[in-house]
Amino acid sequence: MVNKNKTRGEGKQPSFLSFQRMHFKHLFTIILALVVSTVQLIAQDISKYYAVGTQEPGNIYFIYPQKGFKTPKGESFIYDITYLSPQDSLSIKFTYSDRDLLAIDSLGWKSSTLTVSSPVKKIYIEASSKWIYRYEVKLPVDAMYKIYSNTTDIPEINLFCADRIISFEIKKKNWKKYASINHRIFDLIHLNNKK
């Protein structure tokens, strides 16, 4: 029979510090396991990504702000989507920060098969360390539904300004996540719009 105590350094009792370290290791493992299992349980639930309310003449759907699109310099394009059914267009409200003063004209989504663009409407411009632009654009629902239907065809967002075009790209992993979420939400909208 093997004496376990002898394997830990010739019968010496473990110090209080090593005893504590061991406990923290176990505790960390327990917390990590709980976090992972909780996140996995909620991973497939899309209800936290949107809100819906009844509003004449149908429902008002709101997809919470999404990130992921960035310029090559790392400037983020954050947008949310509002859709009042059964209208043909939805409203995308977006925030973009830039060091330069911009005169933004329109915004477009471009995938390998589809291009949509529309003039923007200003909500506000704020001055911080950078200029913060908050604008709104209305785009056709069907076109956006098609764009989100393809998780492999990664689109590009183009912001058309008076003197330049600012392009935003998204990583494949992020697009796959957001496209599948939004596609399911648009499926839901489509089903509810059916008579």
Partner 1 sequence: MRKVLFSFGAAAMLLLSSCAGVQSPVMGMLYTDVKAPVTATSNSGSSKVGTAKAGSILGLVATGDASIQTAAQSAGITKIHHVDHHSNSILGIISSYTITVYGE
Binding span for partner 1 by CB under 8 A among 3-11, 37-45, 144-152, 163-171: 37-45
Place of tokens 């790392």: 74
Map residues 128-147 to x or -, x wherever contact with partner 1 holds by CB under 8 A.
Answer: ------x-x-----------
Map residues 81-110 to x or -, x wherever contact with partner 1 holds by CB under 8 A.
Answer: -x-x------x-x-x---------------
Choice from 5, 8, 21, 65 touching partner 1 (CB under 8 A): 65
Binding span for partner 1 by CB under 8 A among 32-40, 66-74, 163-171, 180-188: 32-40
Binding span for partner 1 by CB under 8 A among 8-16, 54-62, 150-158, 187-195: 54-62
Map residues 105-124 to x or -, x wherever contact with partner 1 holds by CB under 8 A.
Answer: ------------------xx
Looking at the Cβ atoms of 26 and 73, the one nearer to partner 1 is: 26
Q: Give the Cβ contact number of residue 144 at 10 Å.
A: 21
How many CA atoms does the CB half-sphere of 145 hold within 13 Å?
15
- The reply to whether 11 sits near partner 1 by the rule CB under 8 A is no
Query: Which residues of this chain interact with partner 1, rule CB under 8 A?
Result: 23, 26-27, 30-31, 34-35, 38-39, 41-42, 48, 51, 53, 55-56, 60, 62, 64-65, 80, 82, 84, 91, 93, 95, 123-124, 134, 136
